[in-house]
Structure 1
Amino acid sequence: MAGEVVAHAAEAAHHGVDLVPVVALLAAGALAVPIFKRVGLGAVLGYLAAGLLLGPSGFGLISDPASVLATAEMGVVLFLFIIGLEMEPSRLWALRKQIFGLGMLQVGTCGALLTGGGVILGFAPVVAFVFGMGFVLTSTAIVMQILSERGELATDGGQKMVSILLLEDLAIVPLLAVVALLAPSSDDVSILTRLVSLGVALGAILLLIFLGRRIMNPFFAILAQAKVREVMTAAALLVVLGAALLFQVSGLSMAMGAFLAGVLLSTSTFKHQLEADVEPFRGLLLGLFFLAVGMSLDLDVVGENWQIIALSVVAYMLVKASAIYVIARLLKSSHGEALERAVLMGQGGEFAFVLYTTAASSGLIDGPTNAIFTATVIVSMVLTPFAMIGMRYLMPKHVQSMDGVEEVNGLSNRVLIIGFGRFGQIASQPLLALKYSVSIIDNDTEMIRAAAQIGFKVYYGDGTRLDILRAAGAGAADLILVCTNDKVQTTRVVELLRDEFPLARVMARAFDRVHAIELVRAGVDFQRRELFDSAITFGGEAIRQMGADEQQIADVIEGVRDRDRERFELQLNGEDWRVGRNLLISNARDQAREGGVTVDEDDAEAAARQSAQQPQPG
């Protein structure tokens, strides 16, 4: 069946653009990624699995994965450019010890251990060196994508991994030079050629630095005056791809060229515009890169050499991850941070393909050996998302320090406040100002210690536990304020209070209209959506800035409150939209008339229907 599709696509290509591969790639990404993310396997694994199905080892819709991979590497290039935009030179300089200290230590140690492992597996020392050093180069795309998804790029642990990845990207240059030196021919001419190549590479770096510091900002300033969005987008891509091309023809890494261009533009006034222009292409091409890696996995090669590939994957990932963990622990990283770095960086990466291809073309390794090495790296990349899932069960549980924190026990005051975040802190102040006796509990020890520094006595306790509520004096309190910032937690506390302490009056912080209705039905005496009053005050100030007088502001705000109250009652009672149709249309007319606007009857009715049927988030 797949063969017929491919044949049909080939025939169609004679009459125009062959859209079958394009549609197949887009469909694979659009379908696989949401499914894999929903089941907790992550976007990267979704792309890899979809690519495997589309490639020669699957349905065969894509017969030349190498061509797709060559294009998709632009995704890595654009990703490194965006990372560079976030790395101002001063910040990069601050990371120099991590880049050249931690990075070189990890690359050197792992390279030596993996080379030794290759010799033990039976490879010649030179071949083992190529195999091991290629595997040392972690997948920048996978690590960056996972860190980005989890919002950890700016954390201390994330910055260390980014620093190591930068050093590994730099390491591809001397590694390619070493492979050339190890190649069979080593005459004087070739040595001179290599010296010239080194000079060209240094010249490319200096040229890009000059262009970035002197030319790019004025260039974008001129383009910005034209006020044509697509021109700015084209210029952004020109800078990224131009820097990548400059480094590529100089024998350097395209990704490093894009990264350096990003760093040079990180202080530019056009930084955010550039990021916004490049981001859509980055996401699409990076997804295409993972699809191409999945397609490149040749199951026939894996099947024919499964023993050596399986042994190599397990041995290399374990050796590399163990070395990374030990280095991290020796440098005072916590167990959790060291374990995460070891698992996340334990695989090979896309730069290994470059190194292995270069070694094969220079005669250091043969074609079948190159296929085995490449398959080993790809399998390790495929296994990384699974390893991340398994890591969750090995990560140490976060235990809050109880230093300086007193657990709740035997309190008995007129008012009990549960949750002392931003909302609870403000809500408590009128009560304390009038000298009411107030008990406060929260389950965040850091917040409790911070509150103690400014004079608040907050006890440690989880309001969703009945024994804690009793110890906090819920049975004796006249009024209980539930100010927790989690909807599920707030509703659970209210339900416990309603069932166990029915005489206490309960007020609760609501997240939105739907949650407010849920709390009223759960039995609270009063609820307030957390942003409702501040948003009304904000809107009132907006019309004051536009020229409204104080009486107009008061009338308009009161009208907004009345309409909200009426709509809330309708939704609370679950009434059909027709019940409140006339009232809501009338309110819409009144509100529009105040602003001098004519309201169409059908529009008002549609608004009424939508308003009553779909509770608004506010």
Structure 2
Amino acid sequence: MAGHLEFNTSMSDVLVVLGAAGIVIPAFARARITPVIGFILVGVLVGPFGLGRLVGQFPALYYVTITRPEAIAPFAELGVILLLFEIGLELSFGRLWDMRAQVFGLGAAKLLVSAALLTLVLVTMHHDVPAAAGLGIALALSSTALVLPIAGTQSPVGRRALAMLLLEDIALVPIIFVLGAFGPGGTSGAALFATLWRGGVIVLVMLTLGRFQLPRLFASAARTKSPELFLAFSLLVVIAAALATAGAGLSPIMGALLAGLLIAETDYSREVEALTAPFKGLALGVFLITVGMSIDVGEIWRQLGQIALGVAAVLAAKAIVTALLLRLGGASRGVAAEVGLLLASPSETTLIVLTAAAAAGLVSPENAQFWQIVTALGLTLTPLLAMIGRRLASAVDSPDETRSAGAPRDASGQALVFGYGRVGRLVGAMLARHEIPWLALDADPALVAQARAAGDPVIYGNVANAALLEKLHLESARSVIVTMDEPVLVSRTVRRIRAAHPDLAIIVRARDADHAAELYRAGASDAVPETLESSLQLSEAVLVDMGVPMGPVIASIHEMRDELREAIMRGGGLEQKSRLKAAGLRDRT
């Protein structure tokens, strides 16, 4: 009977989590708001400090609340593990080696200086020095689980945030051991040495086996052509790696990161990334719900002034330290400000370190609970801080900041290329080959500096800034070519330019036929769907290899391109797809 009751309780909690995901993700996506806030609010609502406390009075609430938060805690931990695994997949040992100076230099400086400043602040708030030091190092940590999904790992902001967060994830285990060693009756140095020794052996074994065995094992799974088997094997690798490092006394997230790095070196990394992404998103949502469940709104109200002061002190100290260190390291004012605000909140690992500090006797249970509430509120504010950081970065970084003295200042008489990534560089090269004057803009300062050093006419600029578009004098440009792979920003940019310049030629890179139809409605002169162009190029290669003369092949490709363009402009993506099917081609979007 007890087992049956426990099963019903677990199923009720699962239904609440899945129901929250089904409501939060689409609702917040439609409002173009990160679902992070939604999941945390759901946790506050259905947790033991929300509707859960009313189950005794209203038994029906049992089915829409989470009555045992500890039951879903393992799934929350799995979300963080899968997140670190995905980060490892996006990295590689080569890229990690290239980042070593930022990881162990900038990352270590941010952690230590932030911890020292917070310790001083806590001492002034009448904490004794050992407790202040324990709280300071805990609160100096920043949230990998929230920051990287917001910032990514490829942008200037994302790369710098990633470097700092990697150092903190690596340092988590030593931090816990040091806190235990300094507590009353704490961990001995011999125990710390034994853990590090075992962990080193485990990591070495994983590196050796992973390098030689993972490619073969994934090849065997791929040969079965079974997505289910491939997915099962992928999850097996990451969970086994996490358990291996956890068994050695290290953090399971270290094993997950290492598994991702090893798989990133194989030919199957993108397939693994695509298959595991949905699990990461759902598990991360569970983690955020557990964060919300730890927030006691009543306790916040009773200590509102003290909690607000604590949150403000942590956010201000970390933001200032991070921004100053980045400026000293050569980052632009905008990047420094955005990263500083993005990393200002405490971390999910702060909760782990606070628990360890309380267990070691460094921090009293009351103080630990107080700072856990501060941490949960700080995590809740992370998306808001990210938004403020983006706006502040746009305000403090001017388009002139990264230009050299003789750089062109507008697009008069030139073709203007928005975005100088892979596609933008190729467009620029073709314009230069045909001796057409051109100017490119990109929001990545490092990329702009590299392009300028190579002699390319590229300036810094964020096309989301309407004032920048006005300064470029687009009315005298020959054309505008938009190459960014950000559909919402691209559509908004095209609509804004067309409203101001009705006769300007606007050529846009589109993801697929539906996106192209949207861009035509926004005012694009020509929208080029990547998927259709790749299909046409493939068809051209097939026909030529089969012996069809080049002239008729090129003519038929041009004819098909014109037909598809007319179909997109006339009927949008759905009609275009039917025409593709009738023509024997299939749109794989």
Instruction: Tell whether the structures are fold-level matches, with TM greater than 0.5.
Output: yes
Deviation at 1:179, TM superposition (A): 2.0
SS in 2 for 1:184: coil
**1:285 is the counterpart of 2:292:** no
Q: Partner of 1:31 in structure 2?
A: 23
Instruction: Report if the CA contact (8 A) 2:13-2:67 is conserved.
Output: no
Q: Deviations over 1:513-551 (max 9, x none)?
A: 67668879xxxxxx6655699976764554444455679
Aligned in 2, Cα 1:426/1:248: closer, same or farther, shift over 3 Å?
A: closer
Spell out, residue by residue over 1:476-507, the C-alpha distance to the aligned partner (whole angstroms, 9 max, x if none). Answer: xxxx9655546425643663x5xxxxxxxx97
Match of 1:69 among 63, 68, 73: 73
Stretches of structure 2 that go unaligned for 5 or more consecutive residues are: 53-64, 418-423, 443-447, 458-466, 483-492, 510-515
In 2, distance between residues paired with 1:454 and 1:443? 9
Alignment of 1:554-565 (within 5 A): 560=560
Q: Quick check: 357-366 or 68-77, which moved more?
A: 357-366
Distance 1:13 1:398, change over 3 A: farther
Letter of the 1:404 partner, please give it: G
Alignment match, 2:236: 238
- Alpha carbons of structure 1 residues 214 and 429: separation in structure 2 relative to 1, 3 Å: closer
Q: Which amino acid aligns with 1:165?
A: L
Residue 363 of structure 1 aligns with an amino acid whose one-letter code is: G
Return the offset for 1:509. Answer: 5.0
Q: 1:33 to 1:513 in 2, by over 3 A?
A: closer
- Supply the distance in 2 between the matched residues of 1:367 and 1:191 (Cα, whole angstroms): 25
CA contact (8 A) 1:302 1:372 kept: no
Question: Shift in Å at residue 552 of structure 1?
Answer: 6.9
Q: Does 1:88 align with 2:95?
A: no
Within the candidate set 298, 312, 325, 1:314 is matched to 312
For residues 133 and 545 of structure 1, do their structure 2 counterparts lie closer, same or farther at Cα, with a shift above 3 Å needed? same
Is 2:142 the partner of 1:138? yes
Deviations 1:102-133 (A, max 9, x none): 12222111111111211111122221121111
The reply on whether 1:112 has 2:116 as its aligned counterpart is: yes
Distance 1:405 1:273, change over 3 A: closer
Aligned residue in 1 for 2:342: 344
8 A Cα contact 2:245 2:251, kept in partner? yes
Question: What is the letter of the counterpart of residue 172 of structure 1?
Answer: L
Task: Return the letter of the residue paired with 2:16.
Answer: A
Distance between the aligned counterparts of 2:186 and 2:537, measured in 1? 78
Equivalent-residue separation in structure 2 for 1:368 and 1:517 (angstroms):
59
Offset of residue 233 of structure 1: 1.8
Q: After the TM superposition, which residues 179-578 of structure 1 pair with which residues of structure 2 at under 5 Å, given as runs?
A: 179-185=179-185, 190=188, 192-395=190-393, 396-400=396-400, 401=403, 403-404=405-406, 419=416, 444=441, 472=476, 482-485=479-482, 487-488=494-495, 491-492=498-499, 495=502, 497=503, 509=507, 512=516, 530=528, 539-546=539-546, 548=548, 553=553, 560=560
Match of 1:128 in 2: 132
Match of 1:57 among 49, 60, 68: 49
Residue 79 of structure 1 and its aligned partner are, at CA, apart by 1.3
- The structure with more radius of gyration: 1
Distance 2:160 2:7 in 1: 52
Distance in 2 between residues matched to 1:282 and 1:419, nearest whole Å: 39
Tell me how far apart the structure 2 counterparts of residues 141 and 253 of structure 1 sit (CA, whole Å): 15
Q: What whole-Å deviation, never above 9, does each CA across 1:421-441 have from its counterpart, x for those lacking one?
A: 8779979999x8xxxxx9x78
Identity value in percent = 27
Instruction: Go from structure 1 to structure 2 and tell me whether the alpha carbon gap of 1:114 and 1:507 turns closer, same or farther (over 3 Å shift).
Output: closer
1:103 maps to which of 102, 107, 119? 107
Within 2, Cα distance between the matches of 1:92 and 1:256? 14
Of 551-560 and 331-340, the range deviating more from structure 2: 551-560
Q: How far, CA to CA, are the matches of 2:308 and 2:46 in structure 1?
A: 23
Q: Structure 1: any 5+ residue segments left out of the alignment?
A: 1-9, 433-437, 456-461, 473-479, 498-505, 521-526, 578-584, 598-615
Task: In structure 2, give the amino acid aligned to 1:50.
Answer: V
| 1:22 aligns to 2:14 (yes or no) | yes
In structure 1, what residue type is equivalent to 2:200? L
Q: What amino acid sits opposite 2:101 in the alignment?
A: K
Bigger mean CA deviation after superposition, 208-217 or 98-107: 208-217
Name the SS of the counterpart of 1:394 in structure 2: helix
In 2, distance between residues paired with 1:558 and 1:399?
A: 39
Q: Distance in 2 between matches of 1:93 and 1:556?
A: 49
State how far apart, in whole Å, the 1-side matches of 2:580 and 2:177 are: 74
CA distance in 2, matches of 1:303, 1:226: 58
User: Does residue 35 of structure 2 align to residue 43 of structure 1?
Assistant: yes
Determine if contact 1:88/1:267 at 8 Å carries over to the other structure: yes
**How far off is 1:29 after superposition?**
2.7
Residues 70 and 296 of structure 1: CA distance in aligned 2, closer, same or farther (over 3 Å): farther
Provide the rounded CA distance (Å) in 2 between the counterparts of 1:516 and 1:17.
52
TM-score, length basis structure 2:
0.75
Matches of 1:145 and 1:79, distance apart in 2: 9
SS at match of 1:44: helix
SS of match in other structure, 1:102: helix
CA gap of 1:536–1:491, structure 2 versus 1, over 3 A, is farther
Q: Which moved more, 1:194-203 or 1:236-245?
A: 194-203
The reply to whether residue 147 of structure 1 matches residue 139 of structure 2 is no
Q: 1:125 to 1:58 in 2, by over 3 A?
A: same
- Give the stretch that moved more between structures: 510-519 or 198-207: 510-519
Residue in structure 1 matched with residue 173 of structure 2 by the alignment: 173
RMSD over aligned Cα atoms: 4.5
Q: In structure 2, what residue type is equivalent to 1:291?
A: I
Amino acid at match of 1:298: D
Equivalent-residue separation in structure 2 for 1:206 and 1:537 (angstroms):
46
The residue identity in structure 2 corresponding to 1:154 is Q
Deviations 1:196-231 (A, max 9, x none): 334333333333233323443333344444443322
3-state SS of 2:158 partner: helix
Amino acid of the structure 2 residue aligned with 1:280? P
Closer, same or farther: CA 362–67 of 1 in aligned 2, 3 Å: farther
Taking the aligned partners of 1:517 and 1:145, their CA distance within structure 2 comes to 31
Matches of 2:339 and 2:39 in 1, distance apart? 22
Counterpart Cα distance in 2 of 1:236 and 1:467: 49
CA contact (8 A) 1:54 1:295 kept: yes
Aligned to 1:523: none
Aligned partners of 2:344 and 2:566: how far apart in 1? 59
User: Which sits farther off after the overlay, 343-352 or 78-87?
Assistant: 78-87
- C-alpha distance 300-227 of structure 1, shift in aligned 2 (>3 A): same
Answering whether residue 156 of structure 2 is matched by residue 164 of structure 1, we say no
CA distance in 2 between partners of 1:467 and 1:357 (Å): 55
Deviations 1:548-570 (A, max 9, x none): 56797588668757966986897
Distance change in 2, residues 1:507/1:135 (3 Å): closer
The residue type paired with residue 176 of structure 1 is I
In 2, the alpha carbon distance for the partners of 1:443 and 1:76 equals 39
* In 2: Cα distance, 1:454 partner to 1:353 partner: 48
